[in-house]
Chains A and B, each alone.
Chain A
Amino acid sequence: MNAGGWLLFGVTWGIIIILATFCFMKVFSKKELK
Chain B
Amino acid sequence: MAQKRENWGSRLGIIMAVAGSAIGLGNFLRFPAKAASNGGGAFMIPYLVALFLLGIPLIWIEWTLGRFGGGFGHGTAPGIFHNLLQKNRFIKYFGVIGIFGPLVIFTYYAFIESWTLAYSVFSLTGRYSGLADQAGMQSFLRGFQGIEHNQYFNGLGPAYLFFVITFALNIWVIYNGIKGGIERFCKWAMPLLFICGVVLLLRVFTLGAPDPAKPDWNIYNGLGFMWNPDFSALFSAKVWLEAAGQIFFTLSVGIGVILTYASYLSKGDDVVLSGLTAASTNEIAEVILGGSIIIPAAFVFFGPGDIQSIARSGVFNLGFVTMPLVLNKLPWPAIFGFIWFFLLFLAGITSAVSLAQPAVTFLEDEFNISRKKAVVIFGVVTFILCQPAIFFLKNGVVDELDFWGGTFFLVLCAAIETVLFVWVFGMDKAWDEIHKGADLNIPRIYKFIIKYITPLFLLAILGAWLWQEWIPIISMQKVNAVDRPFVLAVRIGIFLIIAVLAVLIKIAWKKKKRQAESKV
Contact = CB atoms under 8 A, between A and B. Distances in A.
Interface of A: 1-2, 4-9, 11-13, 15-17, 19-20, 23-24, 26-27, 30-34
B303 interface: no
Q: Which of A7, A9, A11 has the most CB of B within 10 A?
A: A9
A8 B41 contact: yes
Q: Which of A24, A26, A27 has the most CB of B within 10 A?
A: A27
B48 interface: yes
A24 B228 contact: no
B294 to A, nearest CB: 16
B223 A13 contact: no
Given A2-B228, A27-B15, A12 B44 contact: yes
Contacts of B10: 32-33
Q: Which of A17, A20, A31, A33 has the most CB of B within 10 A?
A: A33
Taking chain A's interface residues, is the majority helix, strand, or loop, or is none over half, making it mixed?
A: helix
Contacts of A20: 277, 280-281, 283-284
Interface in B250-294: 265-270, 273-274, 276-277, 280-281, 283-284, 287-288
A1 B42 contact: no
Contacts of A4: 41, 228-229
Contact of A30 (B44, B227, B270, B280): B270
Contact of B228 (A5, A15, A33): A5
B40 A5 contact: yes
A12 B280 contact: no
Contact of B277 (A5, A16, A23): A23
Nearest to B15: A27
Q: Which of A1, A20, A32 has the most CB of B within 10 A?
A: A1
Q: Which of B10, B14, B227, B228 has the most CB of A within 10 A?
A: B227
A26 to B, nearest CB: 6
B266 A16 contact: no
B107 to A, nearest CB: 33
Given A8-B229, A19-B283, A20-B280, 13 more contacts: A1-B228, A2-B224, A5-B227, A8-B44, A12-B44, A16-B284, A20-B277, A20-B281, A27-B274, A30-B273, A33-B9, A34-B267, A34-B269
B11 A23 contact: no
A5 to B, nearest CB: 4
Nearest to A29: B439
Contacts of A34: 266-269, 437
A30 B274 CA distance: 11
A16 to B, nearest CB: 5
A28 B302 CA distance: 44
Nearest to B278: A23
B199 interface: no
B299 to A, nearest CB: 11
B284 A17 contact: yes
A16 B440 contact: no
8 smallest beta-carbon distances between A and B, as pairs: A8-B41, A1-B224, A23-B277, A5-B227, A20-B280, A5-B228, A34-B266, A30-B439
Nearest to A26: B273
Contacts of B7: 33
Contacts of A2: 224, 228
A16 B291 CA distance: 13
Given A1-B223, A2-B228, A26 B284 contact: no
Nearest to B11: A33
A12 B276 contact: no
Contacts of B224: 1-2, 5
A26 B439 contact: yes
7 contacts: A1-B220, A5-B224, A8-B42, A12-B44, A23-B276, A26-B273, A34-B268
A1 B435 CA distance: 43
